[in-house]
């Protein structure tokens, strides 16, 4: 009987991962292509729209003001309503708005388009985090998050070369940067329609699981919730004031502040430091740091699950990014060294993600955890406005990125210290068999 249970559990976990994660991964690739394509579009749009560094920093970051508004409602709707419907509506809406961004004619219109895009995307990420908690037991969650969030570096890896190619076209009298927005919004619309047919809300709705597999995963998830039954009395408001939630929110705020500053400004920094004018070359070289980020994310996600440790798996990548950027001030400058430094920064600003997002559900369950995920991400996402804006202002005033580098180093160091101070999680339940 025990052997049969082990086999059923392993097959259920393997089948769930194989059916859900590839599709969710595609959704997140589309998300990051649409969210960050402005980083490369600015190489072509700056002259057309008259963007200064300060204006570009604001246009990049204002996305997160709209993004802030709907995080908690999005996470709660997944918990209490329907993940399938919410994610489908979100995808279709943001895809349409990305396409419309290709028609902006002024910085003010760009601000408006980016704000609305942020509002449209707001429910997606916290929604998926909560959705994964409906399907993956705690011991598998960091690996599942790593596979899903591998879309972030891969989005950058493929986004750079695609942007470099599209920026060079001039079809039908329309410049390349406009085509970049027009073309990259379409996959989100198509995937949003597909989500209606691909994503079941709960395991008991999955016809591709055998009845014994559905029973096994439903039971194990229930056991995980029961192990934290002492937290079930926690209200949503109490969850948002939980010390661990507040510390994680502050830590992620500084992480996002430095990370989005780097992500949005990276192509421009690469162009200015190297003097390269070939946007295709910038696009291909710009993929290198995110290859390192992808490898780091997968390795650290696996290691975090194997050791049941989250905090140092968050802090080490952050400190690596800070140290690499600090070293730049003391080494001979060359294009090779610049790419090496940026590669370590790319590793540090991506590899921490699965370990961090495995933490919130360790403290809280059900609606309280859903609200906490939304609260952490939406509040911390203000850093996505603060970081690019501050870098733009510093660059415009000083004519260099040196002060911006110091700012990013400070953000990642503070983030590491805060998360290391977070109290240890409460993880219940017995050990479970690993799928092969």
Q: What is the pLDDT of residues 289-316, one digit of tens each?
A: 999 999 998 899 889 888 888 899 999 9
Q: What are phi and psi of 174, to 5 degrees?
A: -110, 130
Run of H or E including 360: helix 360-363
Q: Decide if 185 contacts 95 (C-beta within 8 A).
A: yes
Instruction: Identify whether 58 is part of a domain.
Output: yes
The tokens describing 250, both together, are 């502050």
Answer for the pair 336, 285: CB distance below 8 angstroms, yes or no: no
Average pLDDT of the chain? Answer: 86
The whole domain housing 175 covers 2-420
* Residues 194-231 pLDDT 10s: 999 999 988 988 899 999 999 999 988 888 767 655 54
Q: Is 237 exposed, middle or buried (0-12, 13-18, 19+ CB in 10 A)?
A: exposed
- Token pair of 50 as six digits: 């008259």
The angle subtended at Cα 120 by Cα 178 and Cα 367, nearest 5°, is 155
- Tokens, residue 69: 């508004």
**Integer Cα distance of 194 and 287 in angstroms:** 28
Write out the H or E segment, with its range, that includes residue 7.
helix 2-36
* Under 8 Å between Cβ of 43 and 267: yes
CB 42 within 8 A of CB 264: no
Three-class secondary structure of residue 175 per DSSP: strand
Q: Within 328-401, where are the H helices?
A: 335-348, 353-357, 360-363, 366-380, 382-398
The distance from CA 272 to its chain's CA centroid, rounded to whole angstroms, is 27
398 pLDDT tier (thresholds 50, 70, 90): very high
The reply to whether 433 falls in a domain is no
Percent of the chain whose pLDDT exceeds 70: 87
Q: Which residues are 175's β-sheet partners?
A: 170
pLDDT of residue 57: 94
Q: What is the chain's length?
A: 436
* Token couple for 151: 């879309």
User: Could you tell me how far CA 209 lies from the centroid of its own chain?
Assistant: 29
The region of weakest confidence among 173-182, 299-308, 382-391 is 299-308
Confirm whether 269 is domain-assigned: yes
How far is Cα 70 from Cα 91, in angstroms, rounded to an integer? 14
Q: Does 174 map to a domain?
A: yes
At residue 363, the pLDDT reads 62
Which token pair is 17? 């991962």
pTM (two decimals): 0.80
Location of structure tokens 């560094």: 53
By CB neighbour count within 10 A (0-12 exposed, 13-18 middle, 19+ buried), where does 355 fall?
A: buried
**Residue at 432 is within a domain:** no
Number of separate domains in the chain: 1
Mean pLDDT, range 415-429, rounded to an integer: 72
| CATH label of the domain that carries residue 81 | 1.20.1250.20
């Amino acid at each position: 009987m025990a052997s049969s249970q082990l086999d059923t559990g392993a097959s259920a976990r393997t089948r769930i991962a194989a059916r859900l994660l590839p599709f969710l991964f595609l959704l997140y690739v589309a998300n990051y292509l649409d969210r960050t394509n402005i980083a490369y579009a600015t190489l072509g749009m700056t002259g057309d729209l008259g963007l200064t560094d300060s204006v570009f920093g604001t246009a990049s970051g204002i996305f997160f003001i709209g993004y802030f508004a709907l995080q908690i409602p999005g996470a709660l709707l997944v918990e209490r309503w329907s993940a399938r419907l919410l994610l489908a509506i979100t995808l279709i809406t943001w895809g349409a708005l990305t396409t419309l961004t290709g028609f902006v004619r002024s910085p003010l219109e760009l601000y408006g388009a980016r704000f609305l895009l942020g509002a449209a995307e707001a429910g997606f990420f916290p929604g998926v985090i909560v959705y994964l908690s409906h399907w993956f037991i705690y011991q598998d969650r960091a690996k599942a998050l790593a596979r899903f969030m591998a879309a972030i570096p891969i989005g950058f890896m493929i986004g750079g070369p695609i942007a470099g190619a599209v920026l060079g076209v001039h079809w039908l009298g329309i410049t390349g940067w406009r085509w970049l927005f027009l073309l990259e919004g379409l996959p989100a619309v198509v995937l949003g329609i597909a989500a209606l047919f691909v994503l079941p809300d709960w395991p008991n709705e999955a016809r591709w699981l055998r009845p014994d597999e559905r029973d096994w995963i439903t039971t194990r998830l229930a056991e995980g919730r029961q192990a934290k039954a002492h937290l079930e009395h926690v209200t949503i408001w109490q969850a948002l004031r939980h010390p661990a939630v507040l510390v994680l929110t502050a830590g992620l705020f500084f992480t996002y502040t430095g990370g989005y500053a780097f992500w949005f400004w990276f192509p421009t920094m690469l162009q200015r430091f190297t003097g390269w004018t070939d946007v295709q070359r910038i696009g291909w070289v710009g993929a290198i740091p995110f290859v390192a980020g992808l490898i780091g994310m997968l390795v650290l996600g696996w290691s975090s699950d194997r050791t049941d440790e989250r905090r140092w798996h968050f802090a080490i990548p952050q400190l690596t990014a800070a140290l690499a950027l600090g070293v730049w001030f003391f080494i001979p400058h060359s294009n090779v060294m610049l790419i090496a430094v940026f590669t370590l920064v790319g590793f540090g600003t991506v590899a921490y993600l699965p370990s961090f997002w495995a933490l919130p559900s360790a403290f809280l369950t059900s609606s309280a955890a859903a609200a906490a995920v939304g609260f952490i991400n939406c509040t911390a996402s203000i850093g996505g406005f603060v970081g690019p804006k501050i870098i733009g202002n510093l660059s415009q005033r000083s004519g260099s990125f040196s002060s911006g580098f110091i700012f990013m180093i400070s953000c990642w160091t503070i983030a590491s210290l805060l998360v290391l101070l977070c109290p240890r999680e409460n993880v219940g339940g017995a050990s479970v068999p690993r799928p092969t």
